[in-house]
Structure 1
Amino acid sequence: MDMAASIRLLPGTPSAHDPARATTLGVMGGGQLGRMFVHAAQQLGYRTVVLEAEADSPAAQAAHHQVRTAYLDPAGLAELVRECDAVTTEFENVPADALRELADHRPVAPAAAAVAVCQDRVAEKAHFAASGVPCAPYAVIDSETALAAVSDTLLPGILKTARLGYDGKGQVRVADRAALEAAWTDLQGVTCVLEQRLSLADELSVIVARGAAGEVVHLPVQHNLHRDGILAVTQVPAPGLDAAQVEQAVASAERIAASLDYVGVLCVEFFLLTDGSLVANEMAPRPHNSGHYSIDACDVSQFDLQVRCMTGLPLVAPRLHSPAVMLNLLGDLWFDAEGRERSPDWAAVLALPGVHLHLYGKAQARRGRKMGHLTLTGATPEAARDAALKAGALLGLEAF
C-alpha cells in the first residue's frame, strides 16, 4: 500500500471525502518555502500541488502539479479542492479569505483566523498581550488624530505598516515627531504601528509545531542577525543565552500558538534586550527563514513538521545533531562591485567541510532577492561558525 494512503488527515474533511485515502497535499504560494515543503511531502510519498500565478516558481518546479491562478481566483480554488486532500500555506500574505473558502471543503492548516492575526500588526500585538507575552511599547496610527496623540515616550521609534510588511518592507526609523509625520505621509497614511525603539542585545526566534490535538514541539532557539531588514545569519545553538531565557522564549511561543488554537508551524521572533528581558517582535504563520538549517542539522526539519501537522502524523521533538550556521544568499552575490553579472564560486565553497548548499531555482538574480541559503554544520558551534566565516569570505559576505 502507498505509505501516504494509510495516513489520516486532520479532522474536518467532508463526509463525502474519505481521509483514509488521502494522497495529495496542496500549498498556497510558489516560493522557496513551498519548494522545501514539497520536497518534505514527497519524501513521505505524497503527491503535491501548488497554487501560484507565476509560471516558473521555485515550488511549482518541484511539485507534481501547478494550479496557475491568483490566490482568490474561484476557478483556481475549486481546482485545488478537487486535486488536494489538505492545504497549507507558505506565504504569510496569502489572503485569509482564500483559506476560509478552502476550509469549507478541505482541512486547512494553519487556519484562516490564525493567519489573519499574523497578517495585521495591530491584531498581532493585541494577541501577544492576550497571551501574556510582552512586546515593545507601541501606538496604532490610523488617522491624523491618532498621529497627533502619539506619546513622546515612543520616540525614537520604528513606524511599520500594519499590513503587507516583511523583510524590512513598510518600515521606517523615525527619530522625532517631524520625522514620524513625514514617514506616515510617505506611507500614504495607511494604518501603521509605531514601536518604541528599544536597546537590543540580540534577535532570536522560536519555531513551534502544534497539532490538532494541542500537542506541541519546537526547534532549538535560534540566534539571528538581520541586515537591512533581511535575515543574514542564523546560529544554532543560540550563543550567549542562559537556560532561563531559552525556557522563556519557548514557553512564550507555545503560549502564543495555543491561544491562537494554532495548527501548523509557527515562528515567533523575539528581541533580547540589554537588561536580559525578552519581548516578542512578530510572528509568521509558516516555516521561517531562520529554520532552514533544520533540514541539514536536525533529524526532523521544520518542513517535516509542517507535513506532520497537516496530516495528523505524530509530532516528535526535533533533535539538533550538529551545531549549524545558516547564511542567506541574496541576489547581490550574482553581481560584482561594478554591477556586472557573475556566478558565485560555488566550487570553492563546496570544497569546505560541512557545507550544504540550497539554491531555489530562481531564474533571475536581483539585489535583495533570496536566491538560496548555505548551511554550515560542524562538530562544535565554533567549528560551524569558522566554516561559515570561511564560506562567507569566499562569497564576499560581511563577517559576523
Structure 2
Amino acid sequence: MYIRPGTMLGMLGGGQLGRMFTMAAQQMGYRVTVLDPAAESPAANIAERHLQADYLDYRALDELGSTCAAVTIEFENVPAQALRYLAQRCIVSPNAESVSIAQNRILEKQFLMENGFPVVPFVAIRSEKDISRKIDASLFPCILKISQFGYDGKGQIQIENTDILPERFADLGSRPCVLEKRLPLAHEISVILARDNHNRITFFPVPENRHVKGILDTSIVPAGLSDKIIEEACEIARQVAIRLNYIGVLCVEFFVLNNDQVLVNEIAPRPHNSGHYSLDACITSQFEQQVRVLCGLPHGSTKQVQAAVMINILGDLWQNDEPAWDQILRHSQAKLHLYGKREAKPGRKMGHFTVLADSTEEAFLQAQHIRHDLQS
C-alpha cells in the first residue's frame, strides 16, 4: 500500500527545506499543508494550506493529523511531543524518538558513543556544577556548543583553556552544552541517505563541505576522497539509521582527520543543505526521495548525472542592492535557487546556486568565477 498522488501531506516547519519538499510533492501530484507559527514563510507561501499555529497547538495538530495522510518535518527542533501526538492520527516520519535524540547534542553524543560510533572526545555540561569538577586538560582547546537550538555556527564558542569556561558558559545562558575537543580537520563530508519501513536504504553521492564562520559555504560532489573513506562513512551512516530506527531522509555529518580517521560530527533528521546539489545533479533529489519514503513509494535512483558544486547565497550579498542574478544565469550550466524570503540579513541563507560540469575541478572553477562576479 502507498499514499496516492492527490492526497494531502503535512509539513511541520515553513523554511526552505519545507519549501523544496512542497515543490517536489506538488510536482508528483500531492498537496501539502504547512504548519508553521510565522504569518508567512518560504514553504507556507507555496503550499495549498497554511496552518499558522505553534507546533504544540493541539487544535492545529488535530487539524493537520485529520486532513493529512502523512506528516514529516523540515527542521529538527520541532517538539518531539508534537510528533508523538500526530502519530496517533496519521503516518509520521521520522518518528519522535529519532528526532528527540538528534535535536539534543548531549543525547546525540551519548547515543553515538553508547552504540560504538566514533565521535570527537567530549563532556556534557548541564550546569555550573559540571564546570567545577575537574575536566580533562586534553580536551582543550575545545568548542562549547549549546545542546539545543544551535545552527549555522550559532550557539558555539571557541575556548582555549579551562579558566574562561565559566564565563563562556554564562555567555550561552548557562544552558546545557557539549564541550568538544577541537581537532585538526582534513575534510568535512556528509552522508545523505533514505531508509524506508522495509529497511531499504539508498545513498546520495557524498559531498565534501567547506564552511565559513560556521555556515556551510560550498559543497563539492563527488568528494575527492578515497573510496575507503567514503565507504566507511556510508557504512557508519547506515548503522546510525538502523540503530535510530530512522525512517525518512537522514544526514550524518563527518569529520575526516589528517590520518584519515572518520568521526561522526552530528546527525540531521531531515534533508540537508549539503544535499541541495541533488536538485540539479541527480536523477532523484533528496526532496523527491523524502516524498517517496513518506508515501511508501519505491526509492528513486540517486545516480549523479554530472559533477556539481553548490554555493550558498547569504543575505550579506544584499548589503548594497539586489544581487545581479544575471551573473549566475548567463552561465548555461549554473542553476539558481532562491527561497522566497522577504528580508535579507547577514548570515541568513537566501538561496543557493549549483554549477554542473564534466569534472568537479571545472565546476569549482566556474563557481568561483560566479561568486567573484556576484560580490563585485
What TM bracket, shorter-length normalisation? Answer: over 0.9
Of residues 191, 208, 215, the one that matches 1:230 is 215
Q: CA deviation at 1:179?
A: 2.1
2:356 is equivalent to residue 377 of structure 1: yes
215-224 or 314-323, larger mean C-alpha shift: 314-323
In structure 1, C-alpha distance between the alignment counterparts of 2:67 and 2:182, rounded to whole Å: 47
In structure 2, C-alpha distance between the alignment counterparts of 1:21 and 1:237, rounded to whole Å: 33
176-185 or 110-119, larger mean C-alpha shift: 176-185
Quick check: 1:30–1:51 contact (8 Å CA) kept in 2? yes
Of residues 369, 378, 387, the one that matches 2:366 is 387
> Residues 16-95 of structure 1 correspond to what in structure 2 (within 5 A)?
23-95=7-79
Q: CA deviation at 1:151?
A: 1.0
> Residues 160-171 of structure 1 correspond to what in structure 2 (within 5 A)?
160-171=145-156
2:196 is equivalent to residue 208 of structure 1: no
Of residues 98, 119, 122, the one that matches 1:114 is 98
> Who is 1:16 aligned against?
none
The 3-state SS of whatever aligns with 1:59 is coil
C-alpha distance 21-327 of structure 1, shift in aligned 2 (>3 A): closer
2:342 is equivalent to residue 358 of structure 1: no
* Corresponding letter in the other structure for 1:292: H
Q: CA deviation at 1:199?
A: 1.0
109-118 or 127-136, larger mean C-alpha shift: 127-136
Quick check: 1:353–1:387 contact (8 Å CA) kept in 2? no
What does the per-residue CA deviation read over 1:298-340, in whole Å, with 9 as the maximum and x for residues that have no partner?
A: 001000110011111012440000100000000000113xxxx
What does the per-residue CA deviation read over 1:368-399, in whole Å, with 9 as the maximum and x for residues that have no partner?
A: 111001011112212211210111111128xx
RMSD: 1.3
Q: CA deviation at 1:203?
A: 0.7
2:143 is equivalent to residue 158 of structure 1: yes
In structure 2, C-alpha distance between the alignment counterparts of 1:293 and 1:348, rounded to whole Å: 19
Q: CA deviation at 1:21?
A: 8.7
375-384 or 324-333, larger mean C-alpha shift: 375-384
> Residues 276-355 of structure 1 correspond to what in structure 2 (within 5 A)?
276-336=260-320, 342-355=321-334
The 3-state SS of whatever aligns with 1:58 is coil
* Corresponding letter in the other structure for 2:294: M
In structure 2, C-alpha distance between the alignment counterparts of 1:64 and 1:188, rounded to whole Å: 39
Q: CA deviation at 1:144?
A: 2.8
In structure 2, C-alpha distance between the alignment counterparts of 1:291 and 1:131, rounded to whole Å: 26
The 3-state SS of whatever aligns with 1:60 is coil
Q: CA deviation at 1:145?
A: 3.0
The 3-state SS of whatever aligns with 1:122 is helix
> Residues 124-139 of structure 1 correspond to what in structure 2 (within 5 A)?
124-139=108-123
2:84 is equivalent to residue 100 of structure 1: yes
In structure 2, C-alpha distance between the alignment counterparts of 1:349 and 1:21, rounded to whole Å: 35
The 3-state SS of whatever aligns with 2:354 is strand
Moved over 3 A (4+): none
TM-score, L = length of structure 1: 0.91
99-108 or 75-84, larger mean C-alpha shift: 75-84
> Who is 1:3 aligned against?
none
What does the per-residue CA deviation read over 1:93-131, in whole Å, with 9 as the maximum and x for residues that have no partner?
A: 111111111011111000010000001111111221233
The 3-state SS of whatever aligns with 2:151 is coil
Of residues 173, 176, 179, the one that matches 2:164 is 179
In structure 2, C-alpha distance between the alignment counterparts of 1:217 and 1:191, rounded to whole Å: 35
In structure 2, C-alpha distance between the alignment counterparts of 1:320 and 1:47, rounded to whole Å: 28
In structure 1, C-alpha distance between the alignment counterparts of 2:348 and 2:175, rounded to whole Å: 25
Quick check: 2:6–2:31 contact (8 Å CA) kept in 1? no
Of residues 253, 257, 269, the one that matches 2:253 is 269
Give the fraction of aligned pairs with identical amino acids, expressed as a percent. 46
In structure 2, C-alpha distance between the alignment counterparts of 1:329 and 1:90, rounded to whole Å: 19
The 3-state SS of whatever aligns with 1:93 is coil
* Corresponding letter in the other structure for 1:231: L
Quick check: 1:96–1:115 contact (8 Å CA) kept in 2? yes
> Who is 2:174 aligned against?
189
What does the per-residue CA deviation read over 1:153-175, in whole Å, with 9 as the maximum and x for residues that have no partner?
A: 11110001111111111110000
What does the per-residue CA deviation read over 1:207-257, in whole Å, with 9 as the maximum and x for residues that have no partner?
A: 010001111011111100111111000000112x11100100110111100
* Corresponding letter in the other structure for 2:215: I
Quick check: 2:5–2:29 contact (8 Å CA) kept in 1? no
What does the per-residue CA deviation read over 1:185-224, in whole Å, with 9 as the maximum and x for residues that have no partner?
A: 2112211110011111111101010001111011111100
Q: Which runs of 5+ in 1 are unaligned?
A: 1-6, 10-19, 337-341
TM-score, L = length of structure 2: 0.97
> Who is 2:375 aligned against?
396
In structure 2, C-alpha distance between the alignment counterparts of 1:139 and 1:156, rounded to whole Å: 13
In structure 2, C-alpha distance between the alignment counterparts of 1:345 and 1:22, rounded to whole Å: 38
> Who is 1:14 aligned against?
none
* Corresponding letter in the other structure for 2:199: G
The 3-state SS of whatever aligns with 1:50 is strand
